[in-house]
Structure 1
């Protein structure tokens, strides 16, 4: 703005001093004045145009900056959506894997594993006290899958899974009454009654165990323990597969 004003003032100065320079006629001076006036008008018009263009450029720059900001925001939104889509894809892939596993499981029937036995298969039997404390249940009510061995009293898990076991014990007051459920030789749960004056005792217990294929479960007496059974089935042992894993 200052440079334009300076130029106009300079031109006006020429207008003021030009008639004194030489031997111009009145007509020449008038024409020269009109030419200079036209020149000044053109300069002023150009100045206004330049100012208008400057404002247009500034407005365009503002719009460009706003566009850049909007594009930056949209890129951030797109990056966020891309990340969310990747997370969804990961979960979808995991779900598809689980569905495939379920389909494979559905395509194969779960093994039918269940047994139920009692200690005596004939007459009355007292077991214990004894050095070999393992209880061998001889009377087999059921043994689906043949996982229980009636010769050893041991149940061997045929597949990985969760298994339910229960047992009951009965005995008289002359000895400790009760038994221990063992998994791979380690005590899991038990029943126990010390000698009492009431003549006889009975108790029971149950548990859910996670077994790997080949794990072994059996029953044992307590030290100096004794249990009793007959065909009424007082001392029993049962188990079955809840579901494989």
Structure 2
């Protein structure tokens, strides 16, 4: 703009000198010079206006550049958030799958095999069993339930099919002139028992007990009689032995 103004004034000066050398008093020339000065001022104003607009355009361009940079930053942040969200979803899916596996495995572990048995001494008639006839185990002949086939009715033994927690109970009946009772054993080791000495005050005696045992797969539980003892049973089921799996381990 400054160069343009100087150029215009230089032109004006030359015109003034040229005209002045010929007709310095000529009013027409002066009027033309005045019009030329006015024109120059108008042009200078327009140049100034253009410069102002150029300044506004530069400021606007600067703001647009800043906005563009901000948008690029927002775009980058959105991409990062999207990536983080994808990672979180992937981890969540992995966790859900893992929980489902644990649930399935836990369900299988909790359910385990179906194991339960309940038996009594006499399968028919009446049975008087002495300890000398029950060596090494009391063999219960009448089978009420034997789910899982873990009780052996030929040997009188229960064999754990899986490692787990098991519940056992038994009952006995004997007449007063004999010691009565029984012993529950685990692998031949005494666990719990019932015991009633001979007496003359009553006709018969009933006893029993129960226990919860942890068994490894293959371990055995069976019943024994006390030395010189005797138990009685008939189809009323006085002398019994029962057990079942509470839950596997």
Common topology (TM > 0.5): yes
Q: Calculate the TM-score normalised by the size of structure 1.
A: 0.59
**Structure 1: distance between partners of 2:60 and 2:160:** 86
- Aligned pairs, number: 224
Q: 1:196 to 1:138 in 2, by over 3 A?
A: closer
**Structure 1: distance between partners of 2:18 and 2:222:** 139
Aligned to 1:59: 63
Segments of 5+ residues of structure 2 without an aligned counterpart are: 21-28
Specify which of 128, 150, 153 is matched with residue 153 of structure 2: 150
Aligned to 1:216: 219
CA shift at 1:190, angstroms?
A: 2.9
CA RMSD for the aligned pairs? Answer: 5.2
SS at match of 2:17: coil
Q: 1:50 to 1:185 in 2, by over 3 A?
A: farther
SS at match of 1:152: coil
- Preserved CA contact (<8 Å) 1:148 1:154: yes
CA shift at 1:61, angstroms?
A: 3.2
Aligned to 2:232: 229
- Preserved CA contact (<8 Å) 2:166 2:247: no
**Structure 1: distance between partners of 2:180 and 2:67:** 94
Specify which of 68, 81, 86 is matched with residue 82 of structure 1: 86
Q: Calculate the TM-score normalised by the size of structure 2.
A: 0.58
User: Is 2:208 aligned against 1:203?
Assistant: yes
- Preserved CA contact (<8 Å) 1:137 1:236: no
**Structure 1: distance between partners of 2:240 and 2:49:** 115
SS at match of 2:237: coil
- Preserved CA contact (<8 Å) 1:136 1:151: no
Q: 1:194 to 1:57 in 2, by over 3 A?
A: farther
Q: 1:224 to 1:127 in 2, by over 3 A?
A: closer
CA shift at 1:90, angstroms?
A: 2.7
**Structure 2: distance between partners of 1:70 and 1:227:** 92
Q: 1:81 to 1:186 in 2, by over 3 A?
A: farther
CA shift at 1:112, angstroms?
A: 6.3
How do 1:1-245 and structure 2 match up within 5 A?
Answer: 7=2, 15=9, 19=13, 23-25=17-19, 33=37, 37=41, 40-90=44-94, 93=97, 113-119=115-121, 122-127=126-131, 134-142=136-144, 143-158=146-161, 160=162, 165-170=167-172, 177-182=181-186, 190-192=192-194, 200=205, 202-205=207-210, 207=212, 212=217, 215-221=218-224, 228-231=231-234, 232-240=236-244
CA shift at 1:209, angstroms?
A: 5.7
- Preserved CA contact (<8 Å) 2:131 2:226: no
**Structure 2: distance between partners of 1:144 and 1:64:** 77
- Preserved CA contact (<8 Å) 2:182 2:226: no
SS at match of 2:155: coil
Aligned to 2:25: none
**Structure 2: distance between partners of 1:227 and 1:235:** 11
